Amino acid sequence: MEYTIHGTVMQALEITLKQGESVYTESGGMAWMSDGIDMQTSGKGGLGKAFGRMLSGESFFMTTYTCRVPQGVITFTPESPGKVIPVPLKAGHSIIAQKDAFMCAEESVDLAMHFRKRLGTGLFGGEGFILQKLTGPGTAFVEIAGEVQMIELQAGQKLKVDPGHIAMYEPTCDYDIEMIKGVMNWLGGGEGLFLATLKGPGKVWLQTMPLANLASKIRGYIGTK
């Protein structure tokens, strides 16, 4: 499998498949493809996994695209302005992503629901208790709203983040929530009552424009003249 990411603000992921190679995506995720690529839709992984995917922001059914000719091309496009991030995963290695981040992946990649075990991170972590977990081997692609900055934390190094800006992180990172100190910071700081704390080692991907923030801005203009 080979791929090219086109564009800047509204990117397109173009994947070139050789005969017998497959990728899968949520229902309706494909934009266009060449002739000779078959599609098959199923509950992929059984009833339990399908419901888990729904809770993590994806569709119940997944569609697998398999190339039946010497070479075929298939293109996927994101649902909002932002970046398409390739995530190469070794066998048994995982990445944790925000809800609805999954775009597509090689057939060998496992997509599952990830449940935050700490009460604080689930209630105040910006994305709720349920996230997405992608496990290799293979390459997956995620779509993240806004621009993206990757920071690699060293062992013991901490990063404090507005929870909605955490797009993806390696499971080696420790994720917790802490309350902002100071009454005036609560009332006038504009950052809410809580910040997320990520502790290394591991990589963290941060987004400049969480989709919830964009939606909130758009709502402010609806119905106005």
Provide the pLDDT for residue 119.
43
Q: State yes or no: pLDDT of 194 exceeds 80.
A: no
26 in any annotated domain: yes
Which residues are CB-contacts of 112 (< 8 A; sequence separation ≥ 6)? 49, 52, 53, 56, 132, 133, 134, 135
93 in any annotated domain: yes
Q: State yes or no: pLDDT of 91 exceeds 60.
A: yes
- Rounded to the nearest 5°, which phi and psi values hold at 168? -165, 150
What domain count does the chain have?
1
**CATH code of the domain in which 148 resides:** 3.60.160.10
224 in any annotated domain: no
225 in any annotated domain: no
Confidence of residue 209 (pLDDT cuts 50, 70, 90): confident
**pTM metric for this prediction:** 0.82
Provide the pLDDT for residue 28.
79
CB atoms within 10 A of CB 21: 18
159 in any annotated domain: yes
Instruction: Please check whether residue 209 is in contact with residue 82, taking contact to mean a CB–CB distance below 8 angstroms.
Output: yes
18 in any annotated domain: yes
- Rounded to the nearest 5°, which phi and psi values hold at 10? -115, 85
Instruction: Please check whether residue 24 is in contact with residue 105, taking contact to mean a CB–CB distance below 8 angstroms.
Output: yes
Domain carrying residue 49: 2-219
Q: State yes or no: pLDDT of 130 exceeds 90.
A: no
119 in any annotated domain: yes
121 in any annotated domain: yes
